[in-house]
Structure 1
Protein backbone atom coordinates (compact mmCIF):
# COMPACT_ATOMS: atom_id res chain seq x y z
CA UNK A 1 0.00 0.00 0.00
CA UNK A 2 1.34 3.44 -0.94
CA UNK A 3 0.20 6.92 0.10
CA UNK A 4 0.95 10.35 -1.33
CA UNK A 5 1.40 13.48 0.76
CA UNK A 6 0.51 16.90 -0.60
CA UNK A 7 2.53 18.48 2.22
CA UNK A 8 5.83 17.19 0.90
CA UNK A 9 6.87 20.21 -1.18
CA UNK A 10 10.41 20.30 -2.56
CA UNK A 11 12.33 21.63 -5.53
CA UNK A 12 12.14 18.21 -7.18
CA UNK A 13 8.51 17.33 -6.58
CA UNK A 14 5.37 18.77 -5.03
CA UNK A 15 4.01 15.31 -4.20
CA UNK A 16 5.82 12.42 -2.63
CA UNK A 17 4.72 8.78 -2.39
CA UNK A 18 5.45 6.84 0.79
CA UNK A 19 4.82 3.15 1.59
CA UNK A 20 2.20 1.99 4.09
CA UNK A 21 1.46 -1.49 5.40
CA UNK A 22 0.74 -3.96 2.58
CA UNK A 23 -2.78 -5.28 2.08
CA UNK A 24 -3.22 -8.54 4.04
CA UNK A 25 -4.16 -10.38 0.82
CA UNK A 26 -0.71 -10.90 -0.68
CA UNK A 27 -2.19 -11.63 -4.11
CA UNK A 28 -3.60 -8.11 -4.23
CA UNK A 29 -7.07 -7.03 -5.32
CA UNK A 30 -8.68 -5.40 -8.32
CA UNK A 31 -12.02 -3.62 -8.45
CA UNK A 32 -12.11 -2.87 -4.71
CA UNK A 33 -14.20 -0.21 -2.98
CA UNK A 34 -11.60 2.11 -1.42
CA UNK A 35 -12.14 5.26 0.61
CA UNK A 36 -11.29 7.12 3.80
CA UNK A 37 -13.48 7.68 6.86
CA UNK A 38 -12.49 8.81 10.36
CA UNK A 39 -8.82 8.88 9.31
CA UNK A 40 -8.92 5.20 8.34
CA UNK A 41 -8.55 3.61 4.92
CA UNK A 42 -11.38 1.20 4.09
CA UNK A 43 -10.81 -1.48 1.43
CA UNK A 44 -13.82 -3.68 0.65
CA UNK A 45 -14.58 -6.50 -1.77
CA UNK A 46 -12.79 -6.77 -5.09
CA UNK A 47 -11.39 -9.60 -7.16
CA UNK A 48 -8.23 -11.49 -8.05
CA UNK A 49 -7.05 -14.71 -9.66
CA UNK A 50 -5.83 -17.35 -7.19
CA UNK A 51 -2.51 -18.94 -8.04
CA UNK A 52 -1.71 -20.56 -10.36
CA UNK A 53 -3.37 -17.68 -12.18
CA UNK A 54 -3.83 -19.35 -15.56
CA UNK A 55 -5.52 -22.38 -13.99
CA UNK A 56 -8.14 -20.60 -11.88
CA UNK A 57 -11.22 -18.47 -12.49
CA UNK A 58 -11.50 -14.93 -11.19
CA UNK A 59 -12.69 -14.80 -7.57
CA UNK A 60 -14.90 -12.11 -6.01
CA UNK A 61 -14.51 -11.28 -2.30
CA UNK A 62 -16.73 -9.94 0.47
CA UNK A 63 -14.12 -9.14 3.12
CA UNK A 64 -13.37 -5.64 4.41
CA UNK A 65 -9.97 -4.43 5.58
CA UNK A 66 -9.40 -1.20 7.51
CA UNK A 67 -6.02 0.50 7.83
CA UNK A 68 -5.64 2.90 10.77
CA UNK A 69 -2.71 4.73 12.30
CA UNK A 70 -1.61 4.36 15.91
CA UNK A 71 1.18 6.86 16.46
CA UNK A 72 3.85 6.04 13.88
CA UNK A 73 2.45 2.56 13.32
CA UNK A 74 -0.07 1.53 10.67
CA UNK A 75 -2.30 -1.44 11.47
CA UNK A 76 -4.78 -3.47 9.43
CA UNK A 77 -8.07 -4.54 11.02
CA UNK A 78 -10.04 -7.43 9.54
CA UNK A 79 -12.90 -9.77 10.35
CA UNK A 80 -15.52 -7.57 8.63
CA UNK A 81 -17.48 -8.46 5.51
CA UNK A 82 -20.02 -7.28 2.95
CA UNK A 83 -23.33 -9.15 2.59
CA UNK A 84 -22.00 -10.72 -0.63
CA UNK A 85 -18.84 -10.78 -2.75
CA UNK A 86 -18.79 -7.56 -4.78
CA UNK A 87 -16.45 -5.47 -6.93
CA UNK A 88 -16.12 -2.93 -9.73
CA UNK A 89 -18.58 -0.41 -8.32
CA UNK A 90 -18.18 3.34 -7.90
CA UNK A 91 -16.94 4.73 -4.59
CA UNK A 92 -16.64 8.16 -2.95
CA UNK A 93 -15.29 9.18 0.45
CA UNK A 94 -17.74 11.37 2.39
CA UNK A 95 -17.90 12.79 5.93
CA UNK A 96 -20.57 10.16 6.65
CA UNK A 97 -18.60 7.16 5.43
CA UNK A 98 -17.36 5.54 2.25
CA UNK A 99 -20.22 5.50 -0.25
CA UNK A 100 -20.26 2.31 -2.37
CA UNK A 101 -22.46 2.27 -5.47
CA UNK A 102 -23.38 -0.62 -7.75
CA UNK A 103 -20.81 -3.21 -8.78
CA UNK A 104 -20.97 -6.84 -9.79
CA UNK A 105 -20.07 -10.41 -8.97
CA UNK A 106 -19.56 -13.41 -11.23
CA UNK A 107 -23.30 -13.64 -11.92
CA UNK A 108 -24.84 -10.17 -12.19
CA UNK A 109 -24.61 -6.39 -11.88
CA UNK A 110 -26.21 -4.67 -8.88
CA UNK A 111 -27.95 -1.37 -8.16
CA UNK A 112 -27.44 -1.36 -4.39
CA UNK A 113 -25.87 1.57 -2.55
CA UNK A 114 -24.47 1.60 0.99
CA UNK A 115 -22.23 3.56 3.35
CA UNK A 116 -19.32 1.96 5.18
CA UNK A 117 -18.27 3.93 8.26
CA UNK A 118 -15.41 3.29 10.68
CA UNK A 119 -15.94 3.49 14.44
CA UNK A 120 -12.45 4.42 15.61
CA UNK A 121 -13.32 3.80 19.27
CA UNK A 122 -14.93 0.37 18.95
CA UNK A 123 -12.75 -0.55 15.94
CA UNK A 124 -15.74 -1.75 13.96
CA UNK A 125 -17.30 -1.19 10.55
CA UNK A 126 -20.90 -0.06 10.27
CA UNK A 127 -22.92 -0.51 7.09
CA UNK A 128 -25.93 1.63 6.18
CA UNK A 129 -28.19 0.84 3.24
CA UNK A 130 -29.15 3.81 1.04
CA UNK A 131 -31.52 4.21 -1.94
CA UNK A 132 -30.58 2.01 -4.89
CA UNK A 133 -29.29 3.40 -8.16
CA UNK A 134 -31.93 4.02 -10.86
CA UNK A 135 -30.65 0.86 -12.58
CA UNK A 136 -27.90 -1.74 -12.13
CA UNK A 137 -24.49 -0.26 -12.83
CA UNK A 138 -20.86 -1.40 -12.76
CA UNK A 139 -17.57 -0.03 -14.13
CA UNK A 140 -18.74 3.53 -13.50
CA UNK A 141 -17.13 6.37 -11.54
CA UNK A 142 -18.28 9.03 -9.11
CA UNK A 143 -17.19 12.17 -7.31
CA UNK A 144 -18.54 14.60 -4.72
CA UNK A 145 -19.04 18.35 -4.40
CA UNK A 146 -20.08 19.19 -0.86
CA UNK A 147 -22.83 16.76 0.12
CA UNK A 148 -23.86 15.97 -3.45
CA UNK A 149 -22.50 12.81 -5.07
CA UNK A 150 -22.38 12.53 -8.86
CA UNK A 151 -22.14 9.20 -10.71
CA UNK A 152 -21.55 8.90 -14.45
CA UNK A 153 -21.18 6.07 -16.94
CA UNK A 154 -21.06 2.33 -16.45
CA UNK A 155 -22.59 -0.86 -17.79
CA UNK A 156 -26.03 -2.24 -16.92
CA UNK A 157 -25.13 -5.80 -18.01
CA UNK A 158 -21.91 -7.78 -18.50
CA UNK A 159 -21.53 -6.51 -22.04
CA UNK A 160 -19.86 -3.30 -23.18
CA UNK A 161 -22.78 -2.80 -25.57
CA UNK A 162 -24.78 -1.82 -22.46
CA UNK A 163 -22.49 1.14 -21.65
CA UNK A 164 -24.69 4.05 -20.60
CA UNK A 165 -24.87 7.85 -20.80
CA UNK A 166 -26.28 7.98 -17.28
CA UNK A 167 -25.60 10.95 -15.00
CA UNK A 168 -27.14 10.73 -11.52
CA UNK A 169 -26.82 12.67 -8.27
CA UNK A 170 -27.58 11.95 -4.62
CA UNK A 171 -27.73 14.71 -1.99
CA UNK A 172 -26.39 13.24 1.26
CA UNK A 173 -27.56 16.25 3.28
CA UNK A 174 -30.91 14.41 3.27
CA UNK A 175 -29.50 11.28 4.95
CA UNK A 176 -31.88 11.67 7.87
CA UNK A 177 -34.88 12.36 5.63
CA UNK A 178 -35.54 9.05 3.85
CA UNK A 179 -38.64 10.40 2.12
CA UNK A 180 -36.45 13.00 0.37
CA UNK A 181 -33.22 11.06 -0.13
CA UNK A 182 -33.22 9.75 -3.71
CA UNK A 183 -31.10 9.57 -6.83
CA UNK A 184 -31.91 12.26 -9.37
CA UNK A 185 -31.24 12.01 -13.12
CA UNK A 186 -29.23 14.87 -14.60
CA UNK A 187 -28.77 15.89 -18.25
CA UNK A 188 -26.25 13.52 -19.87
CA UNK A 189 -23.06 14.84 -21.43
CA UNK A 190 -23.31 15.64 -25.17
CA UNK A 191 -21.25 12.66 -26.24
CA UNK A 192 -21.28 8.88 -26.55
CA UNK A 193 -22.20 6.43 -23.81
CA UNK A 194 -19.30 4.89 -21.90
CA UNK A 195 -18.01 2.68 -19.11
CA UNK A 196 -14.59 2.46 -17.43
CA UNK A 197 -14.56 6.26 -17.46
CA UNK A 198 -13.14 8.72 -14.95
CA UNK A 199 -15.12 11.30 -12.97
CA UNK A 200 -13.57 14.12 -10.96
CA UNK A 201 -14.54 17.34 -9.20
CA UNK A 202 -12.27 20.32 -9.81
CA UNK A 203 -12.38 24.09 -9.40
CA UNK A 204 -12.10 25.85 -12.75
CA UNK A 205 -11.19 29.26 -11.36
CA UNK A 206 -14.82 30.30 -10.94
CA UNK A 207 -16.62 27.33 -9.41
CA UNK A 208 -16.39 23.62 -8.78
CA UNK A 209 -17.46 21.44 -11.67
CA UNK A 210 -17.86 17.74 -12.41
CA UNK A 211 -15.67 16.32 -15.16
CA UNK A 212 -16.51 13.15 -17.09
CA UNK A 213 -13.33 11.89 -18.71
CA UNK A 214 -12.53 9.21 -21.30
CA UNK A 215 -13.74 5.61 -20.93
CA UNK A 216 -14.56 2.95 -23.48
CA UNK A 217 -17.52 1.74 -25.51
CA UNK A 218 -18.33 -0.52 -28.43
CA UNK A 219 -17.84 1.45 -31.62
CA UNK A 220 -20.55 1.90 -34.23
CA UNK A 221 -18.30 0.43 -36.92
CA UNK A 222 -19.14 -2.85 -38.61
CA UNK A 223 -16.18 -4.65 -37.06
CA UNK A 224 -17.61 -4.02 -33.58
CA UNK A 225 -14.27 -3.03 -32.07
CA UNK A 226 -13.81 -1.45 -28.65
CA UNK A 227 -13.46 2.33 -28.86
CA UNK A 228 -11.20 4.02 -26.31
CA UNK A 229 -12.44 7.55 -25.67
CA UNK A 230 -10.34 10.66 -25.06
CA UNK A 231 -13.05 13.30 -24.66
CA UNK A 232 -13.76 15.40 -21.56
CA UNK A 233 -17.02 17.07 -20.46
CA UNK A 234 -17.61 19.64 -17.71
CA UNK A 235 -20.86 19.88 -15.75
CA UNK A 236 -21.61 23.04 -13.79
CA UNK A 237 -23.84 22.35 -10.76
Structure 2
Protein backbone atom coordinates (compact mmCIF):
# COMPACT_ATOMS: atom_id res chain seq x y z
CA UNK A 1 0.00 0.00 0.00
CA UNK A 2 1.13 3.52 -0.66
CA UNK A 3 2.21 5.56 2.34
CA UNK A 4 0.20 8.61 3.43
CA UNK A 5 3.03 10.88 2.27
CA UNK A 6 3.06 9.27 -1.18
CA UNK A 7 -0.71 9.66 -1.55
CA UNK A 8 -0.53 13.27 -0.43
CA UNK A 9 2.28 13.95 -2.89
CA UNK A 10 0.26 12.36 -5.71
CA UNK A 11 -2.77 14.54 -4.88
CA UNK A 12 -0.64 17.68 -4.77
CA UNK A 13 0.95 16.79 -8.12
CA UNK A 14 -2.44 16.15 -9.72
CA UNK A 15 -3.79 19.43 -8.30
CA UNK A 16 -0.78 21.35 -9.65
CA UNK A 17 -1.19 19.80 -13.11
CA UNK A 18 -4.90 20.65 -13.14
CA UNK A 19 -4.28 24.22 -11.97
CA UNK A 20 -1.60 24.71 -14.60
CA UNK A 21 -3.86 23.36 -17.33
CA UNK A 22 -6.71 25.67 -16.26
CA UNK A 23 -4.32 28.61 -16.14
CA UNK A 24 -3.09 27.80 -19.64
CA UNK A 25 -6.68 27.64 -20.89
CA UNK A 26 -7.47 31.03 -19.35
CA UNK A 27 -4.36 32.58 -20.81
CA UNK A 28 -5.19 31.17 -24.23
CA UNK A 29 -8.81 32.36 -24.19
CA UNK A 30 -7.89 35.84 -22.95
CA UNK A 31 -5.02 36.42 -25.34
CA UNK A 32 -5.38 39.68 -27.26
CA UNK A 33 -6.48 39.00 -30.84
CA UNK A 34 -4.86 41.96 -32.56
CA UNK A 35 -1.25 43.14 -32.69
CA UNK A 36 -1.34 45.84 -35.38
CA UNK A 37 -3.62 48.08 -37.45
CA UNK A 38 -4.31 48.10 -41.21
CA UNK A 39 -2.03 50.14 -43.46
CA UNK A 40 -4.80 51.34 -45.79
CA UNK A 41 -8.60 51.66 -46.01
CA UNK A 42 -9.11 49.10 -48.77
CA UNK A 43 -10.38 46.20 -46.64
CA UNK A 44 -12.68 48.47 -44.65
CA UNK A 45 -14.11 49.89 -47.86
CA UNK A 46 -14.63 46.47 -49.42
CA UNK A 47 -16.37 45.09 -46.32
CA UNK A 48 -18.78 48.02 -45.99
CA UNK A 49 -19.69 48.70 -49.65
CA UNK A 50 -23.35 47.63 -49.35
CA UNK A 51 -24.36 49.74 -46.28
CA UNK A 52 -22.23 52.67 -47.45
CA UNK A 53 -23.90 52.64 -50.87
CA UNK A 54 -27.32 52.43 -49.24
CA UNK A 55 -26.58 55.41 -46.99
CA UNK A 56 -25.09 57.47 -49.82
CA UNK A 57 -28.23 56.94 -51.89
CA UNK A 58 -28.44 59.36 -54.82
CA UNK A 59 -25.18 61.00 -53.67
CA UNK A 60 -23.13 57.80 -53.76
CA UNK A 61 -20.18 57.87 -56.16
CA UNK A 62 -18.10 54.71 -56.62
CA UNK A 63 -15.15 56.87 -57.66
CA UNK A 64 -14.97 58.44 -54.21
CA UNK A 65 -12.91 56.20 -51.96
CA UNK A 66 -12.25 55.99 -48.24
CA UNK A 67 -9.13 57.94 -47.31
CA UNK A 68 -6.91 57.84 -44.24
CA UNK A 69 -7.55 60.82 -41.97
CA UNK A 70 -4.48 62.89 -41.09
CA UNK A 71 -3.31 61.81 -37.63
CA UNK A 72 -0.43 64.29 -37.30
CA UNK A 73 -2.35 66.62 -34.92
CA UNK A 74 -2.83 63.71 -32.49
CA UNK A 75 -0.39 62.84 -29.67
CA UNK A 76 2.24 60.27 -30.75
CA UNK A 77 0.63 57.50 -28.70
CA UNK A 78 -2.68 57.97 -30.54
CA UNK A 79 -0.97 58.20 -33.91
CA UNK A 80 0.40 54.70 -33.44
CA UNK A 81 -2.67 53.15 -31.76
CA UNK A 82 -5.44 54.51 -34.01
CA UNK A 83 -6.42 54.25 -37.66
CA UNK A 84 -9.19 56.52 -39.05
CA UNK A 85 -10.74 56.35 -42.53
CA UNK A 86 -13.50 58.55 -43.94
CA UNK A 87 -15.48 59.30 -47.09
CA UNK A 88 -18.02 61.98 -47.95
CA UNK A 89 -20.56 62.47 -50.72
CA UNK A 90 -21.93 65.88 -51.74
CA UNK A 91 -24.80 66.88 -54.02
CA UNK A 92 -23.48 68.18 -57.34
CA UNK A 93 -26.54 70.34 -58.11
CA UNK A 94 -28.87 72.57 -56.11
CA UNK A 95 -32.56 71.65 -55.96
CA UNK A 96 -35.13 73.72 -57.84
CA UNK A 97 -36.72 76.48 -55.75
CA UNK A 98 -40.13 74.89 -56.11
CA UNK A 99 -38.88 71.65 -54.52
CA UNK A 100 -39.95 71.20 -50.92
CA UNK A 101 -38.77 67.64 -50.38
CA UNK A 102 -36.17 66.36 -47.96
CA UNK A 103 -33.42 66.15 -50.57
CA UNK A 104 -29.94 64.86 -49.53
CA UNK A 105 -27.14 67.42 -49.59
CA UNK A 106 -24.24 65.77 -47.78
CA UNK A 107 -23.37 62.32 -46.42
CA UNK A 108 -20.27 61.63 -44.31
CA UNK A 109 -18.91 58.36 -42.90
CA UNK A 110 -16.01 58.00 -40.49
CA UNK A 111 -14.52 54.72 -39.24
CA UNK A 112 -12.03 54.93 -36.38
CA UNK A 113 -10.06 51.88 -35.21
CA UNK A 114 -8.19 51.98 -31.89
CA UNK A 115 -6.01 49.15 -30.61
CA UNK A 116 -4.25 48.49 -27.30
CA UNK A 117 -1.02 46.48 -27.53
CA UNK A 118 1.04 48.17 -24.82
CA UNK A 119 -0.93 47.57 -21.60
CA UNK A 120 -0.05 44.72 -19.28
CA UNK A 121 -3.55 43.33 -19.91
CA UNK A 122 -4.70 44.79 -23.26
CA UNK A 123 -8.16 43.20 -23.18
CA UNK A 124 -9.08 44.42 -19.69
CA UNK A 125 -7.63 47.84 -20.47
CA UNK A 126 -9.71 48.05 -23.67
CA UNK A 127 -12.85 46.91 -21.82
CA UNK A 128 -12.33 49.63 -19.21
CA UNK A 129 -11.71 52.32 -21.83
CA UNK A 130 -14.75 51.22 -23.84
CA UNK A 131 -16.93 51.39 -20.74
CA UNK A 132 -15.73 54.90 -19.88
CA UNK A 133 -16.38 56.12 -23.42
CA UNK A 134 -19.88 54.61 -23.30
CA UNK A 135 -20.65 56.27 -19.97
CA UNK A 136 -19.51 59.66 -21.29
CA UNK A 137 -22.01 59.59 -24.16
CA UNK A 138 -25.06 61.68 -23.41
CA UNK A 139 -28.65 60.56 -23.69
CA UNK A 140 -30.02 57.14 -24.52
CA UNK A 141 -27.69 54.37 -25.62
CA UNK A 142 -29.03 51.46 -27.65
CA UNK A 143 -27.18 48.18 -27.19
CA UNK A 144 -26.78 46.17 -30.37
CA UNK A 145 -25.29 42.84 -31.43
CA UNK A 146 -21.81 43.45 -32.87
CA UNK A 147 -18.47 42.14 -31.67
CA UNK A 148 -18.05 41.43 -27.94
CA UNK A 149 -20.08 44.50 -26.92
CA UNK A 150 -21.61 47.39 -28.85
CA UNK A 151 -23.93 50.36 -28.59
CA UNK A 152 -25.36 53.23 -30.62
CA UNK A 153 -25.38 56.63 -28.93
CA UNK A 154 -28.14 59.24 -29.12
CA UNK A 155 -28.18 61.09 -32.41
CA UNK A 156 -26.68 64.58 -32.33
CA UNK A 157 -28.82 67.11 -34.21
CA UNK A 158 -27.42 70.48 -35.25
CA UNK A 159 -29.52 72.52 -37.67
CA UNK A 160 -30.18 70.37 -40.74
CA UNK A 161 -27.50 67.82 -39.81
CA UNK A 162 -27.92 64.61 -37.84
CA UNK A 163 -25.07 62.40 -36.67
CA UNK A 164 -25.26 58.85 -35.33
CA UNK A 165 -22.41 56.89 -33.75
CA UNK A 166 -22.05 53.16 -33.20
CA UNK A 167 -19.11 51.74 -31.24
CA UNK A 168 -18.12 48.14 -30.67
CA UNK A 169 -15.26 46.20 -29.09
CA UNK A 170 -13.62 42.94 -30.08
CA UNK A 171 -10.85 41.80 -27.73
CA UNK A 172 -8.30 44.66 -27.61
CA UNK A 173 -9.82 46.59 -30.54
CA UNK A 174 -12.43 49.37 -30.48
CA UNK A 175 -14.22 50.50 -33.65
CA UNK A 176 -16.23 53.72 -33.81
CA UNK A 177 -18.49 54.40 -36.80
CA UNK A 178 -19.99 57.85 -37.41
CA UNK A 179 -22.67 58.48 -40.03
CA UNK A 180 -23.64 62.09 -40.69
CA UNK A 181 -26.48 63.30 -42.95
CA UNK A 182 -27.36 66.85 -44.04
CA UNK A 183 -30.30 67.72 -46.27
CA UNK A 184 -31.23 70.86 -48.19
CA UNK A 185 -33.32 73.37 -46.24
CA UNK A 186 -36.34 73.54 -48.56
CA UNK A 187 -37.59 76.58 -50.44
CA UNK A 188 -37.73 80.31 -49.75
CA UNK A 189 -41.20 79.83 -48.31
CA UNK A 190 -40.67 76.59 -46.42
CA UNK A 191 -37.53 76.44 -44.29
CA UNK A 192 -36.38 73.10 -42.86
CA UNK A 193 -34.24 73.90 -39.84
CA UNK A 194 -34.11 70.43 -38.26
CA UNK A 195 -33.52 66.86 -39.53
CA UNK A 196 -36.52 64.84 -40.64
CA UNK A 197 -37.47 61.59 -38.92
CA UNK A 198 -36.38 59.68 -42.02
CA UNK A 199 -33.01 61.45 -42.02
CA UNK A 200 -32.43 60.52 -38.36
CA UNK A 201 -33.43 56.91 -39.04
CA UNK A 202 -31.10 56.66 -42.05
CA UNK A 203 -28.09 57.92 -40.08
CA UNK A 204 -28.72 55.48 -37.23
CA UNK A 205 -29.26 52.55 -39.59
CA UNK A 206 -26.08 53.42 -41.51
CA UNK A 207 -23.89 53.60 -38.39
CA UNK A 208 -25.18 50.26 -37.11
CA UNK A 209 -25.09 48.48 -40.49
CA UNK A 210 -21.54 49.61 -41.23
CA UNK A 211 -20.41 48.61 -37.73
CA UNK A 212 -21.92 45.12 -38.11
CA UNK A 213 -20.31 44.70 -41.52
CA UNK A 214 -16.91 45.52 -40.03
CA UNK A 215 -17.42 43.18 -37.07
CA UNK A 216 -18.50 40.34 -39.37
CA UNK A 217 -15.42 40.81 -41.57
CA UNK A 218 -12.86 41.74 -38.93
CA UNK A 219 -10.66 38.74 -39.78
CA UNK A 220 -10.07 40.11 -43.30
CA UNK A 221 -9.73 43.72 -42.15
CA UNK A 222 -7.19 43.40 -39.35
CA UNK A 223 -3.65 42.10 -40.01
CA UNK A 224 -2.94 38.63 -38.73
CA UNK A 225 -0.67 38.26 -35.71
Higher relative contact order (CA 8 A, sep 6+): 2
Q: Return the structure number with greater helix share.
A: 2
Q: Return the structure number with greater strand share.
A: 1
Question: Between Structure 1 and Structure 2, whose CA radius of gyration is higher?
Answer: 2
Q: Same fold (TM over 0.5)?
A: no
Provide TM-score, normalisation by structure 1. Answer: 0.23
